[in-house]
Amino acid sequence: MSIEVRKVTKRFGDFVAVNDISLTVPSGELVALLGPSGSGKTSLLRIIAGLERPDAGQVLFEGEDATTRDVRHRGVGFVFQHYALFRHLTVFENVAFGLRVRPRAARPAPAVIRKKVMSLLKLVQLDWLANRLPSELSGGQRQRVALARALAVEPRMLLLDEPFGSLDAKVRQELRRWLRRLHDDIRLTSVFVTHDQEEALEVADRVVVMNQGKIEQLGTPQDIFDHPATPFVMKFMGSVNVFHGRVEGGKALLGPLAVDYPGHPHAEARPASGFSRPYELDLGRHEGAGGGFWATLRHVNPAGAVIKLELTDGGDSAIQVEITREQFEALHPKPGERLYVRPRQVRVFLEPGEARAPSE
């Protein structure tokens, strides 16, 4: 089932949680609403679910206006962050609950309920725990029970609000891979809220980056990460080094850096910032072809396959660089040593946010 949000606005007192948002989720797609706390992502999800009513705009399902439709008649399966399982009911009865409380005329026979529930528990790989209580399960198992319960009522769409937010990192990583495989199997239109960039990039077909009630960028995970549309998206999607300065005469003059910027060939100066991710910086002991700057190595974090280094060029901001273990062992730099830093890529944005293509 397709979902369309048209110019939706939602206020809570003087606070604008959702500000004139339009968004389309095609049938069978898995979309992530990604953003920091207060960006409006959960409010938008609740409006789609029918748990909140917008102050302006429309929500359409398969082209039909569902803005005022009661939540019970929207065909929504909702999965919360904290499971919301019935503690006194077994895993089986938790999943069966939505079927057992249907009106008598619409309620399946007990044998049908049992077959369906066991099929769902097998789908989420928990059929062997059908008679356990929620208190006897791990956090990851409880979240899969909550998902099976949401699927039991045959929803037309699945909405998930920070579904893995309360789990530890290892379990969260396992569950998001499992959710992606599950979605590939059932192809149910799904929208999930997260503040975890890695989670959104790994799981979703498309990512909606939100900030202050608006959509900053919408695209595939690769588009969002490789081609950020605004400085906010660039910063939010991972560690980044920021170089402040100006553009004029076809050049971006950013502190210690000077890069070509053909998008602004005029002589007048404009404030601008350049962004490079830590793995986009090369280190060496010689200037070579130039295009970089000298900096002093302050700290080395050798843990893991990627070595993280912190340098300073004498200014207030630290410069973060990430290199492979092989590169580190070949260079073998020492704290206090001066090294030449050359960016392979600098993305330049005019302030207050006019974006241009990345400059090399």
111 and 139 together in one domain: yes
What does the mean pLDDT of the chain come to? 90
Q: Which pLDDT band, with edges at 50, 70 and 90, does 53 fall under?
A: very high
Last residue of a domain, one of 236, 253, 273: 236
Q: How much is the average pLDDT of 228-237? A: 94
Copy the structure tokens of residue 303. 């843990």
Look at residue 314 and tell me if it is in a domain. Answer: yes
For 126-165, the pLDDT digits (tens) are 999 999 999 999 988 998 999 999 999 889 999 999 888 7
- Cβ burial, residue 286 (10 Å; 0-12/13-18/19+): exposed
Look at residue 319 and tell me if it is in a domain. Answer: yes
> Which residues 6+ apart lie within 8 Å of 335 measured at CB?
297, 298, 299, 300
Instruction: Write out the residue range of the structural domain in which residue 185 sits.
Output: 3-236
User: Which of 86 and 168 is assigned the larger pLDDT?
Assistant: 86
215 and 279 together in one domain: no
Q: Total structural domains in the chain? A: 2
Last residue of a domain, one of 219, 236, 253: 236
User: Which of 323 and 264 is assigned the larger pLDDT?
Assistant: 323
Do 126 and 91 form a contact (C-beta atoms < 8 A)?
Answer: yes
Copy the structure tokens of residue 41. 């992502």
For 303-312, the pLDDT digits (tens) are 888 999 999 9
Q: How much is the average pLDDT of 109-137? A: 93
Residue 210 pLDDT > 70: yes
Lowest mean pLDDT among 237-241, 267-271, 349-353: 349-353
Look at residue 360 and tell me if it is in a domain. Answer: no
Could you tell me the CATH number of the domain that includes residue 263?
Answer: 2.40.50.100
211 and 269 together in one domain: no
Instruction: Please compute Rg for the chain using Cα positions.
Output: 25
CA distances in angstroms from 57 to 53, 54, 63, 83, 148, listed in the order given: 10, 7, 14, 31, 32
221 and 255 together in one domain: no
266 and 185 together in one domain: no
227 and 337 together in one domain: no
- Report the pLDDT value the prediction gives residue 360, as an integer from 0 to 100: 44
Residue 228 pLDDT > 50: yes
Could you tell me the CATH number of the domain that includes residue 120?
Answer: 3.40.50.300
- Report the pLDDT value the prediction gives residue 267, as an integer from 0 to 100: 65
- Report the pLDDT value the prediction gives residue 251, as an integer from 0 to 100: 87
Is residue 333 reached through a cis peptide bond, with omega within 30 degrees of 0 on the bond before it? Answer: no
**Facing residues of 207 across strands?**
32, 219
For 326-347, the pLDDT digits (tens) are 999 999 999 999 999 999 999 9
For 76-109, the pLDDT digits (tens) are 998 887 768 899 999 999 999 999 998 889 899 9
CA angle 245, 248, 251 (to 5 degrees): 80
Q: What is the DSSP string of 3-63?
A: EEEEEEEEEETTEEEEEEEEEEE-TT-EEEEE--TTSSHHHHHHHHHTSS--SEEEEEETT
The β-bridge relationship of strands 157-161 and 190-194 is parallel
143 and 291 together in one domain: no
Do 247 and 268 form a contact (C-beta atoms < 8 A)?
Answer: no
User: Which of 265 and 108 is assigned the larger pLDDT?
Assistant: 108
225 and 294 together in one domain: no
- Report the pLDDT value the prediction gives residue 177, as an integer from 0 to 100: 87
58 and 175 together in one domain: yes
Residue 8 pLDDT > 90: yes
Distance CA 191, CA 156 (A): 12
Look at residue 145 and tell me if it is in a domain. Answer: yes
- Report the pLDDT value the prediction gives residue 355, as an integer from 0 to 100: 45
232 and 301 together in one domain: no
